[in-house]
Structure 1
Amino acid sequence: MDVEQDVEQDVEQDVEQDVDVTVVGAGPVGLVLAAELALCGARVQILERRAEPDEAMKAGSINVPTAEALDRRGLLSAAEQVQREILERVGSFAPKADDQPPGGGRPARESRFTGHFAGMILDADLVDWADPDLAAHAAVDGARMVPQRELEELLAEHVARLGVPVRRGVEVTALEDTGDGVLVGTTAGTVRTGWLVGCDGGRSTVRRLAGIGFPGTDPELTGRLAVVDIADPEKLANGWAWSNRGSYRYGPQPGRVVTVEFDGPPAGLPHSRLRSSGGTPMRRGTPTAPVTLEELQASLRRVSGTDVTLTALRGAATRWTDNARQAATYRSGRVLLAGDAAHVHSPFGGQGLNLGVGDAMNLGWKLGAVVAGWAPDGLLDTYDAERRPLGAWVLDWTRAQIGVMRGDAKSAALREVVADLLSTRAGTTYAVKKLSGVTQRIDLPGDHPLVGRFVPDLSLTDGSRLVDHGHGGEFLLLDRTPDRAFARLAAAWAGRVSSVTDDHATPVVVLVRPDGVVAWASDTTDTAAVTGLEAALHRWAGAPSSSPAHEPVG
């Protein structure tokens, strides 16, 4: 493939022609990844085919790992401000349209974000908030209700401060992995880049050009999401409602409606089933065509069984399906995938945005280490190994919700069983823990219970938190030994590992990767602990820049 002949050569050359990493896609995943790479010192640029940011309504909140990722980079206060504004916006609507938990009961408290499973709102009053997994990650409670559009604005400011250029209106048209880099054909000229990362969504051009397969299950529904003006809102039930034609949700903010119809995906997708029960073709729209007011009203009338009238669309509406697929590999040579380019599924349970941000946090420091030249052997291969199992779980989590939400009698019966389980303290707590992400774990060497988990809230005696010391994207080593021997050992990795000392407590020593995952921890100070920390530093932070201080500890 001659990439340089594949592009128009008379287009204004406003893209960087020789960079370490080119990220394709300026959504939250691409922005987070670019920021992490910049913190590692990589020369990075973002290419985005849209001339302007996408205004369509998408994800309405973030989970705990995503909120903690913002916290680790000093963005928690900005996210908390977004949540305050969202709560003010929703507040006027909440008294008359709060969703009810399964089996009735009081609405979920605004102070505790729970989410839903298959449209069944999880009652905050039933959750065991003292559960160790939930209690260990409470510092970001005030930064969970951050919609995707506001998150993108926050992250765009973040990458701008880091000096990352975002080139809009630039489409990728070809790519060639040359072994020592990637030649990327674009509508603004040829880019020579060390690495190319596709964060360009479910219909990823990068994935297609790289020849990476995308196996999975075909869609069977069409969903729509919008904020509208309604002439007669009293005709709609508050919260989620089901019928044999599908389901819909009204709320939780004024004019927000969601419709779900189980008679096939939009036209243009594989295996579309676009006929009603009477055999008449239905106007469902193509996957990329704008959602019109007429299309949305017709859908809402079908699933609600009312003649409700919509008078205006406020902003761009979104159309989606339950297409569930995962890339055959997250890496092919010097081309990598993250976010929806690597996996797609229905939005039920709010996992998609968060899964993609987790990809970006995991990949960012690893690819940055490769660019910087200190990555240990095989580090980049751990990206696929660590993120693929979580992606597969999310796909199944969303597939299960589809099985519960269908309008047939069997699904309705199953929904009653699940609703009964979710009306119990144990059932609700389990679901909230899964949805919030606090139980996520990576299979890493080590028998300490923290290893492989996201680091919990750890407060220090000086009033700060451990996360406050990691805004630069480095490893964090918390050393609570009296003589600070572990911090002295880690000094050989200066520039990559930042040591934080504190008064004695447990855990005694914790090594946290830049993505917030605990790489190693110990409650003892014996020789085995010293050996374990040194091995973990070599495994994740590469060779030391100076000789480690081999001093006895304990």
Structure 2
Amino acid sequence: MGLAIGLGQRGIKTIVVERHEQPQPIPKGQNLTQRTMEHFHFWGAEAALRAARTIPPYGIGGMTSYGTLLSGHNYNWLQRELVRPFYFTDNERLPQYATEAVLRQRAAQLPSIDLQYGWTCRDVRPDAEGVGLDIENRDGMIQSLRADYVIGCDGSRSIVRERAGITQTRSDHDRLMVLLVFRSVELHRLLEAFPGKSFYSVLHPDLEGYWKFFGRVDLGSTWFFHAPVPADTTADNFDFRRLLHDAAGAQFDIEFEHIGFWDLRFTVADSYRAGRVFVAGDAAHSHPPYGGYGINTGFEDAANLAWKLAATLQGWAPAGLLDSYDAERRPVFASTARDFIETPIFRDRDFLRRHDPARDRADFEAAWHERHSGARAEVNAFEPNYEGSPIVFGPAGAVCSAIGSHAYPARAGHHLTPQPLSSGKNVFEELGDGFTLIDLTDGAAATALEQAAARLGIPLTVIRDTASGGREKYEARLILVRPDQFVAYAGDNADDASDILMRAIGRS
């Protein structure tokens, strides 16, 4: 839906084929970061999304506990407020089905988007000129479509990926996980001592680094829970009530609404593109729902691919620009999965083996305090960037990665940090649909870039201001910003204006 909106706002005719008539009411994908909310801002759906929240502005931070939820050994994590100055919008929290409903409403407002609900893709046939595909509804009716490009956003079992011949690399942790959705007023009361939290993870020595994980669906009664269970567990042969009580370390009322299972594994497509077919979201990558990375990574896929497809279809960028989607997004996901999800599982396992309060309480207390400090540092370190992209002017030898640092200077390949303008507006309020040039000079360098953009047919918005009032923090006087708010070039002159722009659109 986000990808369709990003294309539809640029006038690209788009068809969305979606098998479900309505969003499915399973709580997942709840944590929307500040960066993701920037997408909703530019998609014209931010206000509607915030109005749809199921929890009031209560806080969407997390807490990690040792042994049981109420053991007394805990620290805060997922502290996104620590990096709030580097983004234009606040974060948000609501179930994915509520998010999807908002996106469906926004997509329906755009005449260039054709929404086909109740249809499932059955076959994809790419060729040199385009892609044919067959879709089927619940009555067995088959309809054939033809498109310039097809993007599979159809989940981890993607038919589009399979038909396009895109293979996957899998890392299987051989763990069966349960997903429980339940109601409990008493659990809410038990956790009133920890205000402002919406996620609660429990580390237990028996789990070898894997979590028991509680999450709020609303503020008061509805919860979801993930945890490892024996491989032969079914909905009927296991005491899930006891599992919840043991995880919390207390008895409380439970009314189950859903019991489901999933396998703990990491998968990544070996390419995000096969000719005119692309994959995005879970079709391109999947991992355990640790840390809320999944839905946000998928939205970033959409934002990255939308402007590149539009630029190619509108003729102001070559088809080669589309190769940068894989070059940028795939290594960022690999880093996210490896450095922020899988490695922490092993790190937690090693911590639990090394430190035991029953064996050496002083040692455990010191190590636990150190983990708290590390949790704060990890929030700053998760800063997906495209320093190694072929279409940005990043440092020599750089790579695209999820590891970075939040900083005010404008850096090629990194997200632009918002700053106020002399007009009183924020720079993010003035960014254009195409490229944007932030001109903080008194010279002719910006004019050269404007003229080059006109010759090349590249849409360019120019923001002129002074290098003061906070904008001096950019440490650059000429900043070329891509349509996805990442910096393509930052410097003090533009002697090679045409070269800068051609590289930014993949024409170098």
Q: TM-score range by the shorter chain?
A: 0.7 to 0.9
CA contact (8 A) 2:124 2:132 kept: yes
Deviation at 1:535, TM superposition (A): 1.6
Match of 1:515 in 2: 484
CA contact (8 A) 1:369 1:375 kept: yes
1:476 aligned counterpart, secondary structure: strand
CA contact (8 A) 1:222 1:319 kept: yes
Deviation at 1:376, TM superposition (A): 3.0
Deviation at 1:169, TM superposition (A): 1.1
Cα deviations across residues 441-474 of structure 1 (Å, max 9, x unaligned)? 432324585110011112211111222123x631
Residue 401 (1) aligns with residue 340 (2): no
Deviation at 1:128, TM superposition (A): 10
1:400 aligned counterpart, secondary structure: helix
* In structure 2, C-alpha distance between the alignment counterparts of 1:462 and 1:305, rounded to whole Å: 55
Residue 206 (1) aligns with residue 155 (2): no
Residue 475 (1) aligns with residue 426 (2): no
Residues 251, 489 of structure 1: CA spacing in aligned structure 2 closer, same or farther, 3 A cutoff?
A: closer
2:295 aligned counterpart, secondary structure: helix
CA contact (8 A) 2:410 2:416 kept: no
Q: 2:12 aligns with which of 38, 42, 46?
A: 42
Match of 2:501 in 1: 537
2:161 aligned counterpart, secondary structure: helix
Deviation at 1:68, TM superposition (A): 2.2
Residues 304, 243 of structure 1: CA spacing in aligned structure 2 closer, same or farther, 3 A cutoff?
A: farther
**What are the ranges of 5 or more consecutive residues in structure 1 without an aligned counterpart?**
1-30, 108-118, 264-273, 275-280, 286-291, 544-554
Match of 1:455 in 2: 416
CA contact (8 A) 1:228 1:312 kept: yes
Match of 2:234 in 1: 283
Deviation at 1:240, TM superposition (A): 3.3
Q: 1:149 aligns with which of 97, 104, 109?
A: 97
Cα deviations across residues 485-506 of structure 1 (Å, max 9, x unaligned)? 5146325436621122223444
Residue 162 (1) aligns with residue 110 (2): yes
* In structure 2, C-alpha distance between the alignment counterparts of 1:379 and 1:334, rounded to whole Å: 13
* In structure 2, C-alpha distance between the alignment counterparts of 1:379 and 1:347, rounded to whole Å: 31
- Output the amino acid matched with 2:380: K
Match of 1:410 in 2: 353
Deviation at 1:179, TM superposition (A): 1.5
Match of 1:52 in 2: 22
Deviation at 1:121, TM superposition (A): 3.0
Cα deviations across residues 161-204 of structure 1 (Å, max 9, x unaligned)? 22212211111111111211111011141111111110011111
Alignment of 1:339-350 (within 5 A): 339-350=281-292
* In structure 2, C-alpha distance between the alignment counterparts of 1:349 and 1:325, rounded to whole Å: 17
Deviation at 1:156, TM superposition (A): 2.0
1:86 aligned counterpart, secondary structure: coil
**What are the ranges of 5 or more consecutive residues in structure 2 without an aligned counterpart?**
137-141, 195-199, 358-362, 396-408
Cα deviations across residues 494-551 of structure 1 (Å, max 9, x unaligned)? 66211222234443111111111100111x24xxx231x43221223478xxxxxxxx
Residues 311, 135 of structure 1: CA spacing in aligned structure 2 closer, same or farther, 3 A cutoff?
A: closer
Residues 439, 58 of structure 1: CA spacing in aligned structure 2 closer, same or farther, 3 A cutoff?
A: same
Q: 1:310 aligns with which of 240, 243, 254?
A: 254
Residue 121 (1) aligns with residue 76 (2): yes
Cα deviations across residues 292-319 of structure 1 (Å, max 9, x unaligned)? 9x87536535756877552242xx6664
* In structure 1, C-alpha distance between the alignment counterparts of 2:367 and 2:95, rounded to whole Å: 28
Alignment of 1:364-375 (within 5 A): 364-375=306-317
* In structure 2, C-alpha distance between the alignment counterparts of 1:384 and 1:295, rounded to whole Å: 44
* In structure 1, C-alpha distance between the alignment counterparts of 2:247 and 2:21, rounded to whole Å: 35
513-522 vs 67-76, which moves further: 67-76
Please report the TM-score for the alignment, with normalisation by the length of structure 2. 0.77
1:323 aligned counterpart, secondary structure: strand
2:151 aligned counterpart, secondary structure: strand
Residue 430 (1) aligns with residue 377 (2): yes
Residue 490 (1) aligns with residue 450 (2): yes
Deviation at 1:33, TM superposition (A): 1.1
Alignment of 1:5-404 (within 5 A): 31-82=1-52, 86-87=55-56, 100=63, 121-122=76-77, 129=82, 134=83, 136-140=85-89, 142-163=90-111, 164-187=113-136, 188-230=142-184, 233=187, 239-243=200-204, 246=207, 247-252=211-216, 253-254=219-220, 255-261=222-228, 263=230, 274=231, 281-283=232-234, 296-297=240-241, 299-300=243-244, 310-313=254-257, 319-376=261-318, 378-396=320-338, 397-404=340-347
Residues 446, 357 of structure 1: CA spacing in aligned structure 2 closer, same or farther, 3 A cutoff?
A: same
* In structure 2, C-alpha distance between the alignment counterparts of 1:123 and 1:36, rounded to whole Å: 28
2:144 aligned counterpart, secondary structure: strand
- Output the amino acid matched with 2:495: V
- Output the amino acid matched with 1:121: N
* In structure 1, C-alpha distance between the alignment counterparts of 2:175 and 2:328, rounded to whole Å: 30
Deviation at 1:234, TM superposition (A): 8.9
Which structure carries more relative contact order (alpha carbon 8 Å, separation 6+)?
1
* In structure 1, C-alpha distance between the alignment counterparts of 2:132 and 2:181, rounded to whole Å: 42
Deviation at 1:387, TM superposition (A): 0.8
* In structure 1, C-alpha distance between the alignment counterparts of 2:265 and 2:330, rounded to whole Å: 17
Superposition RMSD on alpha carbons, in Å? 3.8
Residues 319, 475 of structure 1: CA spacing in aligned structure 2 closer, same or farther, 3 A cutoff?
A: farther
- Output the amino acid matched with 1:240: S
* In structure 2, C-alpha distance between the alignment counterparts of 1:67 and 1:356, rounded to whole Å: 13
* In structure 2, C-alpha distance between the alignment counterparts of 1:305 and 1:147, rounded to whole Å: 26
2:166 aligned counterpart, secondary structure: coil
* In structure 2, C-alpha distance between the alignment counterparts of 1:234 and 1:482, rounded to whole Å: 58
- Output the amino acid matched with 1:349: G
- Output the amino acid matched with 1:433: N
2:35 aligned counterpart, secondary structure: helix
Q: Percent identity?
A: 26
CA contact (8 A) 2:413 2:487 kept: yes
1:325 aligned counterpart, secondary structure: strand
- Output the amino acid matched with 2:116: R
